[in-house]
Amino acid sequence: MNKKWLLLALFAAPQAMADDMIHWWDASVTALYGDNYDLAPSDKQTTFTFETAGAWQYGDWFAFQDLIYFNGSNVSSDSTTYGEISTRLSAGKISGKEIGFGPVTDLSLAMTFEEGEGPVKSFLYGLGMDIAIPYFSYFQLNTYRREAISSGNISDGWQITPAFRMDFPVGNSNIVFDGFFDWVFSADNQGYEENFHFNPQLKYDLGAVIFGSHEKNKFLVGVEYDYWKNKYGVKGVDQNTYSVIAKYHF
């Protein structure tokens, strides 16, 4: 998928649907700068991430597009792109009944499309769960079957992806701890190693301090930690790095 079309989909799709179908939606842009990135043309990178998330009558969605710029004088490529579109169809919303047990509050059909430059296109499908855990604003757990759909991509297998958020009020502001991890715990191909990618962010709601409480959750600053064992399925390549970030919600 061409990156300009994915960017258009991120911001235009929610507005194209009838108001009564959309329960809530959000769009944001994040600027990140960090170094010590492995398997990249430069160890220093500047990234702009465009995101949208929301819930509608039959489920929810999350999508992002990364525009990655390599900060080096002798790099083979100046930039690259990567993005994902995820949606979940909720059994509870579709049936109109409570679907859950214990801390599990809903079950969903979870699907994700991964795309970028190079042999990275994959389609993931499986079971999604919403789980109520004390102190978490939300906690989702998706278990996927991975299917590579581009030539040269050998990442077929099984993956677990939790996503979470925690909020900590501080005076008139807030500290947000959120993120995800992707764990490919079973790989079909010998040339692709099982891998673990943990990518949390710790952010302070600076907008609430500067612009007032009516602008909460608008402008946040902080750090992102990125740990990736066997990055891209390459055995022995373990990325461990931080980035400074600034995020604005529209």
Each residue of 138-197: pLDDT tens digit?
999 999 999 999 999 999 999 999 999 999 999 999 999 999 999 999 999 999 999 999
Residue 209 · residue 173 · CB < 8 Å: yes
Residue 174 · residue 167 · CB < 8 Å: yes
What SS3 string covers 151-194? CCCCCCEEEEEEEEEEEEEECCEEEEEEEEEEEEEEECCCCCCC
At residue 213, the pLDDT reads 83
At residue 71, the pLDDT reads 87
What are the residues whose beta carbons fall under 8 Å from the beta carbon of 166, sequence distance 6 or more? 135, 136, 137, 176, 177, 178
Ranges of beta strands (E only) in 5-137 are 22-34, 45-56, 59-70, 79-90, 104-116, 122-131
Each residue of 206-221: pLDDT tens digit?
999 998 888 899 999 9
Domains and CATH numbers, the chain: 20-249 (2.40.230.20)
- Residue 1's beta-bridge partner residues? none
At residue 137, the pLDDT reads 97
CA angle 241, 141, 188 (to 5 degrees): 75
- Full-model pTM: 0.90
Of the listed ranges 16-20, 107-111, 201-205, the least confidently predicted one is 16-20
Q: Smallest Cα–Cα separation from 63: which of 20, 5, 19, 109?
A: 5
How far is CA 66 from each of CA 6, 7, 29, rounded to the nearest angstrom?
A: 10, 10, 10
For tokens 């169809």, the residue is 89
Residue 65 · residue 6 · CB < 8 Å: yes
